[in-house]
Amino acid sequence: MKLLIGISNIVDPGASFAQIRQALPAHFELITTTNFEQLSEQELSGAEILLTALVPVSAELIEKLPHLRLIQACSHGYDHIDIEAAARRAIPVCNVGSSRAEDFDVAELAMLFMLALSRRLIEAHEGLSTGVWNQPYLLSQLGLTELHGKTLGIIGLGHIGTDLAYKAHAFNMQIIYNDVAPKPEELVKPLGASYRALDALLAEADYVSVNTDLNESTVGLLNAQRLRLMKPSAFLVNTARGTIIEKEALVQALKERWIAGAAVDVFDVEPPPADHPWLHTPRLYVTPHLGGTSQEAIMRIGQAGILNAFRLLQGEPLQDIVNGVQPAH
């Protein structure tokens, strides 16, 4: 059995390759890379399973793999995979959604962003570290707030969004959400969560967290028109995918104070170039795609991907198929 393993340089590929090697039987042949396009024909030949952690899988690559039986995304997101090309070849594409491998990690990061924004943590640190006691400025010019009693609007109440809602509920936040359709009552009732149309959510929420998938309908979902709907006192958090928010619109929203602040863990290009506008916009906190990269999360993600590969080999149903293709046994 031959597996292709691709792990992005965004994380620590060396440690992850070692973890996967240890988890698989010794007779499995592993070809590891940070870029599938750099593999030779000999390295690609005979591969039946492909695991990818944010390494692009193009239609051209898929066509070079005639024996391929499964493409497994070791992540919630799968926008780096040409799922339509895989479907044309009747190859299932799966993510790790139901494993909850990333849920706690990404939801904790979103909570961290909200807490940091509410107390202007970055500005406070930057001022004090340069010898300036800037509490008066923070109070009078930026404002310090609590999460207690505020309204959190979650765009995408999937696995991560739901875990975030539970965490925010513990802070006594009111939860509203938007998704493709209202969720079952048994899911949202423990949270006291209420469905809203997207524009209504943006207008009502004190904090907006983006947790939806990236697809054709969500690219540029938060454009200038929608960002203008938010309260001037509201904060925006994105731990999903960078292109869900229009890049220039977010810069304008912050410079013209349509919103009070924002925090993003994801960019349209990763790593972003040095002149990326989000790196130089006041009141915009940025991190280098830390969601899903804790030691615990990386371990769970790798395990979830490997387990699905074993399901395929054992003739068991695959979990989290995202392109509607069932495996041929």
pLDDT digits (tens, 9 = 90+) for 156-200: 999 999 999 999 999 999 999 999 999 999 999 999 999 999 999
Task: Say if residue 169 is in the same domain as residue 57.
Answer: no
Which tokens is 197 given? 């149309």
SS (H, E, C) the chain: CEEEEEECCCCCHHHHHHHHHHHCCCCCEEEEECCHHHCCHHHHCCCCEEEEECCCECHHHHHCCCCCCEEEECCCCCCCECHHHHHHCCCCEECCHHHCCCHHHHHHHHHHHHHHHHCCHHHHHHHHHCCCCCHHHHHHHHCCCCCCCCEEEEECCCHHHHHHHHHHHHCCCEEEEECCCCCCHHHHHHHCCEECCHHHHHHHCCEEEECCCCCCCCCCCECHHHHCCCCCCCEEEECCCHHHECHHHHHHHHHCCCCCEEEECCCCCCCCCCCCHHHHCCCEEECCCCCCCCHHHHHHHHHHHHHHHHHHHCCCCCCCECCCCCCCC
Task: Say if residue 122 is in the same domain as residue 219.
Answer: yes
Mean pLDDT in residue range 93-108: 90
Q: Would the pLDDT of 223 be above 90? A: yes
Buried b (16+ CB within 10 A) or exposed e, 104-121: bbbbbbbbbbbebbbbbe
**Residue 143 domain flag:** yes
Q: Would the pLDDT of 315 be above 90? A: yes
Percent of the chain whose predicted confidence (pLDDT) is above 70:
99
pLDDT, tens only, 116-155: 999 999 999 999 999 999 898 888 888 899 999 999 999 9
Task: Say if residue 93 is in the same domain as residue 112.
Answer: no
Task: Say if residue 228 is in the same domain as residue 277.
Answer: yes
**Residue 323 domain flag:** no
Pairing of strands 235-238, 70-73: unpaired
**Residue 232 domain flag:** yes
pLDDT, tens only, 13-30: 777 777 777 778 888 899
Write the CATH number for 242: 3.40.50.720
Task: Say if residue 303 is in the same domain as residue 218.
Answer: no
Which tokens is 300 given? 């769970």
User: What is the pLDDT at residue 13?
Assistant: 78
**Residue 73 domain flag:** yes
Q: Would the pLDDT of 224 be above 90? A: yes
Under the banding of pLDDT at 50, 70 and 90, the label for residue 208 is very high
Task: Say if residue 240 is in the same domain as residue 309.
Answer: no
Number of domains in the chain: 2
User: What is the pLDDT at residue 294?
Assistant: 87
Cα end-to-end distance, the chain, whole Å: 15
Mean pLDDT in residue range 47-64: 95
**Residue 201 domain flag:** yes
**Residue 325 domain flag:** no
Maximum separation of any 2 CA atoms in the chain, in Å:
67
pLDDT, tens only, 70-79: 999 998 889 9
Q: What is the dihedral sign for C-alpha 270, 275, 278, 279? A: positive
Task: Say if residue 28 is in the same domain as residue 166.
Answer: no
Mean pLDDT in residue range 201-227: 96
User: What is the pLDDT at residue 329?
Assistant: 65
- Domain residues for 114? 103-286
Other residues' Cβ atoms within 10 Å of the Cβ of residue 194 = 14
Q: Rounded mean pLDDT of the chain?
A: 93
Task: Say if residue 188 is in the same domain as residue 305.
Answer: no
Task: Say if residue 158 is in the same domain as residue 31.
Answer: no
Task: Say if residue 205 is in the same domain as residue 280.
Answer: yes
Under the banding of pLDDT at 50, 70 and 90, the label for residue 50 is very high
Catalytic positions are: 241, 270, 289
Under the banding of pLDDT at 50, 70 and 90, the label for residue 239 is very high
Mean pLDDT in residue range 40-63: 95
**Residue 231 domain flag:** yes
pLDDT, tens only, 265-292: 999 999 999 999 999 999 999 999 999 8
**Residue 324 domain flag:** no
Task: Say if residue 160 is in the same domain as residue 59.
Answer: no
Task: Say if residue 92 is in the same domain as residue 116.
Answer: no
Q: Would the pLDDT of 11 be above 80? A: no
